[in-house]
Amino acid sequence: MAEKSHQKLLKSFEEQVSTPLCTGLEEAYHHLWRYGPFPEPFLKQNDRFSRKWHQDYLSLVIREELKDISKVVELDKVENLLFWMPSRITAPLSMANLAGELEVAHTTVKAWLEQLRRLYLLFPVDPWAKRVSRGLRREKKWYFLDWYYVSEESGRLENMVATYLYRACQALTDMGHGNYRLNYLRTLDKKEIDFIVEADRKPILAVEVKLNDPQLSKSLQRRHKWFPGIPTLGVQVINRRGTLQKFPDHTWVVSVERFLSLLP
């Protein structure tokens, strides 16, 4: 049954990814990339307005909503935590290092991150561990739900893809299609895949995010050694308009707007 489901996914993806993009999709993606997913800055499409709106939003969440739902009193340090997060999203987050910089306990940082998750500012991505014999670093990756806060281009692209995949997993689970989870893979010998999507504890999709590099990553090419006997779909997402290349073993290099348009 699982084999048939995987084959259906592979066939469906090939059909949908090859479909011509809707008129205006590339422009809409450009505005999403630049202004983030919230309606106000997205529709206004003004850099100054967007900057001020996002600053005010963070202040509102931290100074009012966080204060209301928790006993956090060191709000300045929570703001510092969020200020430092954008440079750390592409790697597993060391809470011990972050705690040292903030001069608080490790458990305090953990509690703050959980509160920020509950307020829909951040979300975690767990490491994928099943059958990876060389082992994994156990830290989670953390991303913003609104990628606007990540100014560096490669980090913003990874965060944007992470947000869409995270929401897709939630939507598919809520709609009763199965139990979908988003993970990342990183071994102790530094082999990594940015994202692994599981359906009912079986990996079905591996995603690598590269800013402008169309050369297929070695980890994506060799992903089957971590998922033996499972025909996973492999997609490398890049920020280059019009890209669509097919490789052996159900592997693709696809422009980001084309890939994101396929997600629920």
Mean pLDDT of 173-182: 95
Give one DSSP letter per residue of 91-145, joined into a string. Answer: S---HHHHHHHHTS-HHHHHHHHHHHHHTTSEEEEEEP-TT-TT-B--PPEEEES
Domain range summary for the chain, segments of one domain joined by +: 2-260
pLDDT value at residue 14: 86
Residue 101, pLDDT > 60, answer: yes
At 1, the pLDDT band (50, 70, 90 cuts) reads: very low
Residue 72, pLDDT > 80, answer: no
The SS3 of residue 168 is: helix
Q: What is the mean pLDDT of the chain?
A: 90
